[in-house]
C-alpha cells in the first residue's frame, strides 16, 4: 500500500490503472479505523482493481460544540490496518489540499434528506459532508464509492448528491458492523467509560426490539417507537436525542409502516453522541 498526501500525486498514481481500464474504488473515511471501515475496504477489494482509502478529518462537518479537535487520530495504526485489509492507496491530505486557498464552494442537499434526524440537531453537518464527498469524488473519480449503513442519513445524502450531479460513480452501502453485544462500531465508542460502554448496548437493543414488533405485525410507527423509547429511558446513562421512523428512500416521516422504513436514533451516552439504525419492512 502506498500513502499519498496530495491530489497531484494521487492522480499520477491512478493515471496508469485508469488508462488500462482498471476499476477504482473509493472508501472515504475520517480514520480511527475499526471493523466497520475494514468491511468497506474489503467490499471494495472484492469489486475493484484499485482500492483507494481516503483519510481526512473534515472540519466542515463538525459544529462549534463538536469533537473535531478530540476526534481520534492515529495515522500509523490506520495505515497498517488499511494495508492489511487490502487497500492499495491511502490518501491522507492536509486541510489546505482539500480546501485550497480561497476555497469558496459549498455543496448542499436540501429538504427532508438533511432537515430531519441528525440534520435537525447538527446544522451544517450534511453540507460539510456533501461538500467533502463531492471533492473526494472529484479528486479520485472512482467507479464505486463505499459508505457504511450505520451513517444511514449520510448514505442517502450521498446517493442524492450523486444522482443530482449525474456523477458516474456507483454508491455502495455496506451493512453496519456490530460488536458481539450489538453496539454499532464507531470511532467514538472509544470515548466511552466502562459503565457507559455497557449502557450503550441499550441503543441497538431498543432498535432490535422495535424491529421485532414490526415483524410481529405492529404497523403504527408511534407505538413501535414508544416501546423502544421506554427501553432506552430505563438506562440512566443514556439521553435520547431522537428516535424516528422515516421512509428508507426519502427520509420523509412515516406514521404507518408499509414499505421499507428506517428506524433511526441518536443518543448521548455520557458526553458521547452515538447513532444507530435498523431497516424494517412493513
Tell me how far apart the alpha carbons of residues 51 and 41 are, in angstroms, rounded to a whole number: 7
Residues of span 190-209 touching its own copies by CB under 8 A? none
Choose the binding region for its own copies from 38-46, 55-63, 142-150, 164-172 (rule: CB under 8 A).
164-172
Which is nearer to its own copies, 138 or 195 (by Cβ)? 138
Tell me how far apart the alpha carbons of residues 270 and 249 are, in angstroms, rounded to a whole number: 32
Q: Is 238 exposed, middle or buried (0-12, 13-18, 19+ CB in 10 A)?
A: buried
Compute the least distance from the CB of residue 147 to its own copies, in Å. Answer: 16
Helix axes 7-19, 125-140, angle to 10 degrees: 50
Residue in 37, 88, 125, 143 annotated catalytic: 37
By CB under 8 A, tell whether 135 contacts its own copies: yes
The size of the chain, in residues, is 282
Instruction: Please say if 166 is a catalytic residue.
Output: no
The answer to whether 144 and 25 are in contact (CB under 8 A) is yes
Residues of span 74-133 touching its own copies by CB under 8 A? 99-100, 102-111, 113, 130
Choose the binding region for its own copies from 50-58, 78-86, 162-170, 216-224 (rule: CB under 8 A).
162-170
Mention every residue, 6+ apart, whose C-beta is less than 8 A from residue 191: 67, 70, 270, 271, 272
How many other CB atoms sit within 10 Å of the CB of residue 100?
Answer: 11
Which is nearer to its own copies, 87 or 134 (by Cβ)? 134
Residues contributing to the site for its own copies (CB under 8 A): 7, 11, 19, 21, 99-100, 102-111, 113, 130, 134-135, 138-139, 141, 160-161, 163-168, 250
Amino acid at each position: 500500500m502506498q500513502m499519498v498526501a496530495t491530489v497531484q500525486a494521487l492522480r499520477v498514481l491512478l493515471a496508469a490503472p485508469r488508462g488500462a481500464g482498471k476499476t477504482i474504488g473509493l472508501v472515504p473515511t475520517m480514520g480511527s479505523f475499526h471493523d466497520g471501515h475494514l468491511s468497506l475496504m474489503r467490499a471494495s477489494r472484492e469489486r475493484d482493481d484499485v482500492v483507494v482509502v481516503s483519510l481526512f478529518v473534515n472540519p466542515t462537518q463538525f459544529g462549534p460544540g463538536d469533537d473535531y479537535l478530540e476526534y481520534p487520530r492515529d495515522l500509523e495504526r490506520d495505515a497498517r490496518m488499511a494495508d492489511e485489509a487490502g487497500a492499495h492507496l491511502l490518501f491522507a491530505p492536509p486541510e489546505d489540499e482539500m480546501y485550497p486557498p480561497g476555497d469558496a464552494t459549498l455543496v448542499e442537499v436540501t429538504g427532508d434528506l438533511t432537515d430531519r434526524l441528525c440534520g435537525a440537531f447538527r446544522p451544517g453537518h450534511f453540507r460539510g459532508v456533501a461538500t467533502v464527498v463531492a471533492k473526494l469524488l472529484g479528486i479520485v473519480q472512482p467507479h464505486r464509492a463505499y459508505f457504511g449503513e450505520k451513517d444511514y442519513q449520510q448514505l442517502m445524502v450521498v446517493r442524492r448528491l450523486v444522482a443530482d450531479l449525474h456523477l458516474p460513480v456507483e454508491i455502495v452501502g455496506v451493512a453496519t458492523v456490530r460488536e458481539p453485544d450489538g453496539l454499532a462500531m464507531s470511532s467514538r465508542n472509544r470515548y466511552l467509560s466502562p459503565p457507559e460502554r455497557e449502557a450503550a448496548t441499550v441503543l441497538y437493543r431498543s432498535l432490535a426490539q422495535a424491529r421485532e414488533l414490526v415483524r410481529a405485525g405492529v404497523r403504527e410507527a408511534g407505538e413501535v417507537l414508544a416501546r423502544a423509547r421506554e427501553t432506552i429511558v430505563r438506562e440512566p446513562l443514556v439521553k435520547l436525542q431522537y428516535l424516528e421512523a422515516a421512509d428508507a428512500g426519502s427520509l420523509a416521516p412515516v406514521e404507518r409502516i408499509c414499505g421499507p422504513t428506517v428506524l433511526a436514533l441518536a443518543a448521548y451516552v455520557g458526553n458521547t453522541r452515538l447513532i444507530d439504525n435498523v431497516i424494517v419492512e412493513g
